[in-house]
Structure 1
Amino acid sequence: MTFVQLIDCRTSRFDEMNRLMDRWVEQTKGKRTATHDIIGSDRSDASHFIEIVEFPSYEEAMRNSHLPETDRIFQEMVALCDETPTFTDLDVVRDEQLYDASARRFFETLGGKGELPPLNDLLVEDYHDHDPSNPQDAIGMDAIRRELEMWRSAFDFSFTIEDQVAQGDRVCTRWTWNGTHKGDFLGIAATGKKVSMTGTTVQRFSAEGKIVEGWWQYDRLGLMAQLGALEGLER
């Protein structure tokens, strides 16, 4: 079970404490068991800080605590505090990756039946889309809706999410796209063929949880081959 430790402290010497933490990260490289570390500053009290440290389990946290580097730097940290820091030990009972869920909902929405719904709850108004298959990036809600409508008028399709990795404000989604060619696509009249392709999309999220930017990589050449567009070029 994931374990989180909250360290609550007050200090007027945060810059020194920050450098101390940099030293700990360097000295424990390859030995520490902590997987994530966040330090927050209290907006109403400039001397109040809370550090949140995540571990794979309580046992791994104890291993981390027993490192000589951890013990030494902890003593130095206490000396920088205005008062003795307090510790809260938490077993994580729910861990919701909200950006992941929003990314998944984005792909479900693209492949939904009927008219394309408003995307304001998923994308910022000046969303920036990078697709190397297009001569220009699509920037703004109107531009991305035109791009999506082009795909939706040409295919009935859906995405299968194969894998997702989240880090910071970015989510990388590996997907499989399956569609039926029902309308004109880049000058190719509807063929009725069932087609598929794989791809990866990296999305950057705002603090409010909306998608700000997207980068696409997918097998468009393979899709064109399935539609018969490359038959005259084959030898």
Structure 2
Amino acid sequence: MKFVQIIDYKTERPDGMNTLMDKWVEQTKGKRTATHSLVGQDRTDASHYVEIVEFPSHEEAMKNSHLPETDRLFQEMVALCDGMPSFTDLDVVRDEQLNTATARRVFEEICVAGDLDIVGQVYAPDYRDHDVLKEAETVTGSDVIREDVTHWRAAFDFAFTLHDQIAQGDDVVTRWTWTGLHKGAFLGVQPTGKQCTMTGTTTFRFRDGKIQEGWWHYDAVGLMRQLGVI
């Protein structure tokens, strides 16, 4: 079970705190068990900070706490704080990665199921699309998704297998395998009835909960080879 520690403190020396954290990160390379650290500043009190540190489990967090570097960090941190920091230990009982869930909707509900009515819910109106098969480097507007899905669904009966999703900041990267039966004209190639497979990755950049930009990278050459074009 994931474990999170919340550290609540006040300081008038945030630069010193950042320097201290940078030093700890450098000194604990290969030893620390913390997987994610986030620091927030109170908008109503500039001296009030909250740090959220994530670990794979409580046991791994304890290993991290027992590192000599962590003990030194705590002592130096206290010296920079106005008063003693407070600590809250939490077992994570629910973890919703909302952007990754939205990315999955693209593949499962829009591409495979063909539900174009939800494009406006998922994509920003000024969405920017980058696709290896397009002549233009960038195509703008969510209508490009409707056009692409309509085109691919007319040419293939297909499905996606989603292998991995990695979320960092506003970006979600999905690694996938696509399998499709060639049933209609595609890029000038008449239906072959062949079952084709290709792998790829898609990176979506989110803004305000919607997809603002997308990069589609896949084995287009391999697909054309399977269709007999190459």
Contact conserved, 1:201 with 1:215, CA < 8 A, in 2? yes
1:42 aligns with 2:42: yes
Partner of 1:164: 165
Deviation at 1:147, TM superposition (A): 2.7
Contact conserved, 1:204 with 1:212, CA < 8 A, in 2? yes
Contact conserved, 2:112 with 2:160, CA < 8 A, in 1? no
Q: Name the CA distance, whole Å, in 2 between partners of 1:146 and 1:45.
A: 49
Deviates more, 1:162-171 or 1:70-79: 162-171
Structure 2: any 5+ residue segments left out of the alignment? none
Deviation at 1:183, TM superposition (A): 2.4
Deviation at 1:94, TM superposition (A): 1.4
In the TM superposition, 1:204-223 aligns within 5 A as: 204-206=205-207, 208-223=208-223
Structure 1: any 5+ residue segments left out of the alignment? 231-235
Q: Name the CA distance, whole Å, in 2 between partners of 1:17 and 1:162.
A: 39
Over the residues paired in the alignment, what is the CA RMSD in angstroms? 1.8
Q: Name the CA distance, whole Å, in 2 between partners of 1:162 and 1:34.
A: 25
1:96 aligns with 2:96: yes
**Kindly tell me: are residues 64 and 146 of structure 1, through their superposed partners in 2, closer, same or farther at Cα, counting changes over 3 Å?**
same
Deviates more, 1:219-228 or 1:1-10: 219-228
Deviation at 1:203, TM superposition (A): 1.8
| Aligned length, in residue pairs | 229
In the TM superposition, 1:1-235 aligns within 5 A as: 1-113=1-113, 116-136=116-136, 137-206=138-207, 208-230=208-230
What percent of counterpart residues are identical? 63
Moved over 4 A (4+): none
Contact conserved, 1:111 with 1:156, CA < 8 A, in 2? no
Contact conserved, 2:114 with 2:149, CA < 8 A, in 1? no
**Kindly tell me: are residues 115 and 101 of structure 1, through their superposed partners in 2, closer, same or farther at Cα, counting changes over 3 Å?**
closer
Deviation at 1:82, TM superposition (A): 1.4
- Secondary structure in 2 matching 1:214: strand
Contact conserved, 2:41 with 2:50, CA < 8 A, in 1? yes
- Secondary structure in 1 matching 2:119: coil
